[in-house]
Amino acid sequence: MAERKTNEIRDTTENVTEQPVVVMQRGNTTFLIGLHYAEKGKETLEDKVKKLIRKDVQNDDF
């Protein structure tokens, strides 16, 4: 029997840490995207986003 997928929001408040979150809405769906980064990293957030955009453009993935 095929596994049934459901849209479910789970309460994970017991495991929440101080972490930046991006909230994005597409239609009736809200995405909460947790950001994790190395505090000793050498790239800025801007550098990382630019690298992701370049990669998507090179791969025609947009």
Q: In sequence order, what E strands does 1-62 have?
A: 21-26, 29-34
What's the whole-model pTM score?
A: 0.41
Tell me the domain boundaries of the chain.
17-58
Residues near 51 by beta carbon (within 8 Å), at least 6 away in sequence: 43
pLDDT by 10s per residue, the chain, length 62: 555 555 555 555 555 557 788 898 999 999 998 877 787 889 888 898 899 999 999 998 76
Q: Is 51 helix (H, G, I), strand (E, B) or coil?
A: helix
Closest CA to 37 of 59, 19, 50: 19
- DSSP 8-state code for residue 15: G
